[in-house]
Structure 1
Amino acid sequence: MKPIAEGLWQIPLAPKESVNAYVLGDVVVDAGYKASGKKLVKALEGRAISAHTLTHAHPDHVGGSKRVVDAPGVPFWAPAGDAAAIEAGRSVVGQSRIRPLVAATNRFDPVPIARTLSEGDDVAGFRVVDVPGHSPGHIAFWRESDRVLVLGDVFFNMLLPRLKPGLRDPLTFVTPDIAQNHASQRKLADLEPAIACFGHGPVLHDAAPKLRAYVNARS
């Protein structure tokens, strides 16, 4: 578990920070693949955890969630726009020629939902920001006092599967609305974060000009 800022820790769940979970105060955000659940629960041993939530309902973020919720017996908070997918155990995927294959493998264990989260809700001192596109209900977590952002997969900070760091768009074949995700990228860049934490890739410091340059390069 790696400290990032006050009350924020990163838990890498795969080599070179290619899949990450985070702890915001006493709330666990994301859980990696199903196989990551055991590793995440072990990393959380000895910590008082009050809840578990997600940035979005894709199997590399919600796959380990049932184990995380069951182990300490904590409530699960779901992004409101992804709640139906979480209860069904199947996420919404993008349009591509391999859509049937992606849809068939894009499943996970359903998790009972105790609360749904949407724009403006507070989670351990972070404000929920709605950033749909990569999933219908994708959310990010923003703390304005020190300009820290946990953004899930709105941006990648790694080229997968080569594990090469650098800002990227999320994978198109699992992004149902690419244009909407681009709008969400601009929304987050407009926050001018000092620190950006990604679902895939290392934490980015002095993030504001880098996110802004990435977004503007597409204009």
Structure 2
Amino acid sequence: MITAESFKLAPGYFEVAPGVWGMKDKFVNFYMVQDAASGDWVLIDAGLKISRSKILRMAQDLFGDQRPAAILLTHGHFDHVGALEALAEHWNVPVYAHYLEFPYLSGISSYPPADPTVGGGMMSVMSVFYPNDPIDISSRLIALPEDGAVPFLEGWQYIHTPGHAPGHVSFFRKEDKVLIAGDAFVTTKQESLICTITQKQHISGPPMYFTCDWEAAEESVNTLTALEPAIVATGHGKPFSGPEMEKQLRQLNDNFYQEAVPAHGRYANDPAVTDASGVLYVPPKNKANTESWMFVAGIILAGVTAFGIVKFATTGKKGR
């Protein structure tokens, strides 16, 4: 069973299950999974732009000079593809994703805009500043097989779990019921900066500020709950297992609209519409509400910057 203690004590990265390892960089996780029979391994998600060196060090520690067979994506939001282009070029490997993510990975379409008005904490408020432009890795991009098989990983399947992103997928190993859920649900309250920093463990819905279709998100949680996972590893928060995880996942599944869906917000009652070409429709934003949240975000950002300057100046004076 994965415990909070073992997570904290892991030297840089943590073991989720046999052949499955993860690492947290700032506020997002990425994973490395090895096939027991072939020895091939893959990277699942690519963190932030600054994650490149951490991912390379982790790979070297686990696999030596063996490069991955591929990079697999749960989805293409900025905090899951930050180091993707650099890593794919460094290793010269293909990138697999669901075909409905292709517009956002081929320079064709931006995702539906983040919604800072959903509430829940500072991570939501600051989402107005999160990158949303598409990247272009079309020369390396390959669609995941239609039959649900996971390239290079025998015994795994991927499940299309849209809602947070149109082509979002999760990965499941039936043998020991290990679930890499991505952001279909997470194990901390990602909207809260305090919970993001402390990694307080709690099964929560997908991060509200980026989720653009709540009906699809609920169906995805229903699908994953029906798998009865024994261990869940998500895009945000610590791995979670045992009776408490199972209880909390059932609670989220049974009370999704009460626990996960924001009471207000751009997509709360009107989903974005997308297809294989990208975004077709986004509901209109509440201009006054959005501008007020942007003002709050600006004040917070200015305050954090001022605090940093004062702290630096004070530390500098003490050191002289």
* Structure 2 length-normalised TM: 0.62
Moved over 6 A (4+): none
* 2:201 counterpart SS class: strand
Larger displacement relative to structure 2 (195-204 or 152-161): 152-161
Aligned match of 1:181: 217
Residue 61 of structure 1 and its aligned partner are, at CA, apart by 0.3
- Report matched runs for 1:27-106 at 5 Å: 27-45=42-60, 46=64, 48=66, 49-88=68-107, 91-93=110-112, 96=115, 102=128, 105-106=131-132
8 Å Cα contact 1:87-1:111 kept in structure 2: yes
Greater displacement, 133-142 / 168-177: 168-177
Q: Which structure shows the bigger proportion of residues in strand conformation?
A: 1
Match of 1:107 among 108, 111, 133: 133
Equivalent residue, structure 1, for 2:283: none
SS, match of residue 105 in structure 1: coil
Higher helix share: 2
Point out where structure 1 has 5 or more consecutive residues left out of the alignment: none
Partner of 1:218: 256
CA distance in structure 2 between the aligned counterparts of 1:89 and 1:34, rounded to whole angstroms: 20
Query: What is the Cα deviation at residue 77 of structure 1?
Result: 1.1
1:217/1:92 CA distance change after superposition, 3 Å: same
Measured in 2, the distance between the counterparts of 1:20 and 1:80 equals 23
Provide the rounded CA distance (Å) in 1 between the counterparts of 2:74 and 2:219: 17
Give secondary structure in 2 for the equivalent of 1:212: helix
Percent identical across equivalent pairs? 28
- Give the C-alpha shift of residue 176 in structure 1: 1.3
**Distance in 2 between the 1:212 and 1:8 partners?**
24
CA separation of 1:104/1:10 partners in 2, compared to 1, >3 Å: closer, same or farther?
closer
SS at match of 2:202: strand
For 2:233, the aligned partner's letter is: C
* TM-score between the two structures when normalised by the length of structure 1: 0.88
Shift in CA distance, 84/189, structure 1 to aligned 2, threshold 3 Å: same
Count of paired positions: 215
Partner of residue 11, structure 1: 23
Separation of aligned partners in 2, 1:159 and 1:114: 32
CA distance in 2: counterparts of 1:128 and 1:187, whole angstroms: 12
Deviation at 1:81? Answer: 1.2
1:90 is displaced (CA, Å) by 5.5
CA change 1:97–1:201 in 2 (3 A) is: closer
Q: Is the 8 A contact 2:177 2:228 kept in 1?
A: yes
Unpaired runs of at least 5, structure 2: 1-12, 35-40, 119-126, 258-320
Report Cα offsets for 1:119-140 as digits up to 9, x if no partner. 5122413101010110000000
Match of 1:208 in 2: 246
* C-alpha contact (below 8 Å) 1:41/1:71 kept by paired residues: no
Superposition RMSD in Å: 2.4
Matches within 5 A, 1:128-139: 128-139=158-169
Q: Distance in 2 between matches of 1:98 and 1:180?
A: 20
For the pair shown, the structure with the greater C-alpha radius of gyration is 2
C-alpha separation in 2, matches of 1:114 and 1:218: 34
